[in-house]
Amino acid sequence: DAKTTQPPSMDCAEGRAANLPCNHSTISGNEYVYWYRQIHSQGPQYIIHGLKNNETNEMASLIITEDRKSSTLILPHATLRDTAVYYCIVRVNRNNAGNMLTFGGGTRLMVKP
Amino acid sequence: DAGVTQSPTHLIKTRGQQVTLRCSPKSGHDTVSWYQQALGQGPQFIFQYYEEEERQRGNFPDRFSGHQFPNYSSELNVNALLLGDSALYLCASTPRLGTSYNEQFFGPGTRLTVL
């Protein structure tokens, strides 16, 4: 699975959009971009994933560049509850046997009042 | 519908002891993965169980072993505990094989402290 690079930390004002970048310059054509987050003292939580098209769900939007070498997770209206470590993970979608996740250091997002 | 549950929530052991951690997957899930998360780091994959067999394994020594039961629940066993085994141990489950949705659901973890 391709390696990802994320800034170690970011701040965001409450109510503003939080834009979390991720570089994955060695991504292969069949690898997806996944985002998980981990709120303090909890297990990681799935947010969103995509292959090459932009994706949106009730939690966030995922913007993937045309060359797929980078992506941005957007939390449109950040709240204090969005304070967490956000992990960008790139991997092939496999059957259940083999779909483990390789976590990097992630980005620690601090949402401030 | 209960999500992934893990027990115990906290555990304190001494060096050289053995420990067993337990995980019940989310209803309808048949694959269980275990991760170790040291303080300040991202989770690291230990191994994955499907159909009561270990299917994939990360870079962990044989002191780490596991089991999956017919009801899909799983155990993680660690023998000869070292101080460096102190970590949050996370269990994650995945829906049945053939489901296109590839999300992993994580439990709250077991915090293991080795003294």
Looking at the predicted structure, is the pLDDT value of residue B115 above 80? yes
How close A95 comes to chain B (CA, Å)? 6
Identify whether the C-beta of residue A1 lies closer than 8 Å to the C-beta of residue A101.
no
Side-chain-side CA neighbours of residue B35 (13 Å): 25
Looking at the predicted structure, is the pLDDT value of residue B1 above 90? no
- pLDDT for position B28: 84
Nearest-CB residue to B108 (from A42, A46, A98):
A42
Q: Which helix (H) or strand (E) holds B16?
A: none
pLDDT by residue (tens digit) across B32-91? 999 999 998 999 999 999 889 998 899 999 999 999 999 999 999 999 999 999 999 999
- pLDDT for position B103: 79
- pLDDT for position B101: 52
- DSSP string over B68-97: E-TTS-EEEEE-S--GGG-EEEEEEEEEPT
What are the residue ranges in chain A where pLDDT is below 70?
A: 1-2, 94-98
Tell me if residue A80 falls in helix, strand or coil.
Answer: helix
Tell me if residue A62 falls in helix, strand or coil.
Answer: strand
More reliable by pLDDT, B27 or B114: B114
Nearest-CB residue to A87 (from B42, B44, B45):
B42
Q: Kindly determine whether residue A105 and residue B48, on different chains, have CB atoms separated by under 8 Å.
A: no
- pLDDT for position A38: 97
Identify whether the C-beta of residue A109 lies closer than 8 Å to the C-beta of residue A83.
yes
pLDDT by residue (tens digit) across A35-44? 999 999 899 9
Looking at the predicted structure, is the pLDDT value of residue B100 above 70? no
B30 touches chain A (CB under 8 A): yes
Side-chain-side CA neighbours of residue A95 (13 Å): 9
How close B71 comes to chain A (CA, Å)? 17
- pLDDT for position A98: 60
- pLDDT for position B91: 97
Listed residue (B106, B86, B99, B13) closest to A37, CA to CA: B106
- pLDDT for position B110: 97
- pLDDT for position A30: 86
Counting one residue from chain A and one from chain B, the pairs whose CB atoms sit within 8 A come to: 67
Share of chain B residues as helix, strand and coil, in percent rounded to the nearest 5: 5, 50, 45
Identify whether the C-beta of residue A75 lies closer than 8 Å to the C-beta of residue A37.
no
Q: b/e map of B82-93 (b: 16 or more CB within 10 Å)?
A: eeebbbbbbbbb
Q: Kindly determine whether residue B107 and residue A87, on different chains, have CB atoms separated by under 8 Å.
A: no
Other Cβ atoms within 10 Å of A18 Cβ, number: 24
Band (pLDDT 50/70/90 cuts) for residue B23 is: very high
Q: What are the C-alpha distances in Å from A83 to residues A9, A39, A100, A104, A109?
A: 11, 7, 25, 18, 5
